[in-house]
Amino acid sequence: MTTRIRGRAMTNPIPKPPSGGNGRLLPPDAGRDRPLFVVAAILVFLACIAGLGARGAWLQAQRWTTDLETSLTIQVRPAEGRDAEADADRAAALTRAMPGVEQATSRGRDHALALLTPWLGEGNLPDDLPLPLLVDVRTRSGVTIDTAALQAQLDAEGMAARIDDHGRWANAVRRAAGTAQALGLGLLALLAGAAAAVIAFAARASLAARLDVIDALHLCGAEDRFIAGLFQRRFFMLGLKAGVAGAVFAGLVSLLVSLGDAPADMAFFLPQWASDPFEFVLLACAPVLAGLTAAISARLAVASDLRGRW
């Protein structure tokens, strides 16, 4: 109409239209989205902690299994008519000659006694008590020592020696670490799911509170994607901001945990700041994922509402 009615009944000059940009089509949230922001930030924080924790458990388990896998112990049992100390030295020498062995140290009787002290106390053992002596062997990582050949050599020397490659322990540790890691990942998945559900729920609630705007836009001839786009942008930004807050907080907490001198075995499931790319990737991805989750759920909610209209 405006062009056709130009010039009609105008006594006053036309005032200038308000300057500045377009007003926002969606009303400012006026605090309505703040609880959502807080909940989303907390969920992202927990998810990051779970992720870092799972990572920490994995790193720790790896360290332990590496420790176990690169070491062997040879037990030299005392035998009638044999000098156990000499046998242990001989076993160490034989082992050192094996390919892949870095170091083999025979531990004397004192060492064996020291190992027993916690259980039997000091000085309670007779001097002639026969004790098995130990040979500590360090191998290069990734190399498998031919324990059968070594055992054959030791047997050929006539000593009562037994090789323990810690396989049983390494497997147990690996299993425990695997369980911890699965737990961490499961927790992560659960938290991510909860975050998505909460954000989707909030997006619907926020939508319901703004039905008047959707109504007005819809009847003014706005396309569905135009309306969905408004909410999508709003919720992406909300998810992103909440995600940044949660991730930064999680990063700080894991940094504090690493700076504090928690003993290594206690830190098994604590988020550790290892300063490797994984942490940065996780903490950088979390806000983006939170934003995307929020945007997608908002979009789906709006789309289903609009489909319910005509």
Q: Taking the complex as a whole, how short is the minimal distance between the CB of residue 228 and another protein, in angstroms?
A: 13
The binder of another protein chosen from 10, 148, 259, 266 (CB under 8 A): 10
Interacting positions 100-139 with another protein (CB under 8 A): none
Interacting positions 134-163 with another protein (CB under 8 A): none
Q: What's the CA gap between 100 and 95, in Å, rounded? A: 10
Q: For another protein, which is the closer residue by CB, 86 or 216?
A: 216
Q: What's the CA gap between 41 and 234, in Å, rounded? A: 16
Q: Taking the complex as a whole, how short is the minimal distance between the CB of residue 29 and another protein, in angstroms?
A: 11
Residue 72: burial class (beta carbons within 10 Å; 0-12, 13-18, 19+)? buried
Q: For another protein, which is the closer residue by CB, 25 or 274?
A: 25
Q: For another protein, which is the closer residue by CB, 212 or 265?
A: 212
Burial 200-217 (b: 16+ CB within 10 A, else e): bebbbebbeebeebbeeb
The binder of another protein chosen from 3, 80, 99, 263 (CB under 8 A): 3
Q: What's the CA gap between 105 and 93, in Å, rounded? A: 9
Q: Taking the complex as a whole, how short is the minimal distance between the CB of residue 13 and another protein, in angstroms?
A: 8
The binder of another protein chosen from 14, 148, 156, 266 (CB under 8 A): 14
**φ and ψ at 281, to 5 degrees?**
-65, -45
Q: x-or-dash pattern for another protein, window 17-46, by CB under 8 A?
A: xx--xxxxx-xx------------------
Q: For another protein, which is the closer residue by CB, 119 or 310?
A: 310
Q: For another protein, which is the closer residue by CB, 122 or 223?
A: 223
Number of residues that bind another protein (CB under 8 A): 37
Q: Is 12 in the site for another protein (CB under 8 A)?
A: yes
Q: What's the CA gap between 234 and 247, in Å, rounded? A: 20
Q: Is 266 in the site for another protein (CB under 8 A)?
A: no
Q: For another protein, which is the closer residue by CB, 10 or 266?
A: 10
User: Which tokens go with 261?
Assistant: 């001198």
Q: x-or-dash pattern for another protein, window 188-217, by CB under 8 A?
A: ------------------------xx-xxx
In this structure, are residues 49 and 253 in contact, taking their beta carbons and an 8 Å threshold? Answer: yes
Q: Taking the complex as a whole, how short is the minimal distance between the CB of residue 23 and another protein, in angstroms?
A: 4
Q: What's the CA gap between 26 and 232, in Å, rounded? A: 11
Place of tokens 């242990």: 88
Q: Taking the complex as a whole, how short is the minimal distance between the CB of residue 21 and another protein, in angstroms?
A: 8
In this structure, are residues 174 and 134 in contact, taking their beta carbons and an 8 Å threshold? Answer: no
Nearest to 203 by CA among 286, 309, 300, 306: 300
Could you tell me the CA-to-CA distances from 223 to 7, 124, 306 in Å, in that order? 33, 90, 10
Q: Taking the complex as a whole, how short is the minimal distance between the CB of residue 4 and another protein, in angstroms?
A: 5
| Nearest-5° Cα angle at 208, 206 to 210 | 75
Q: Taking the complex as a whole, how short is the minimal distance between the CB of residue 8 and another protein, in angstroms?
A: 7
Residues that bind another protein in the complex, under the rule CB under 8 A: 1-6, 8-10, 12, 14-18, 21-25, 27-28, 212-213, 215-224, 226, 309-310
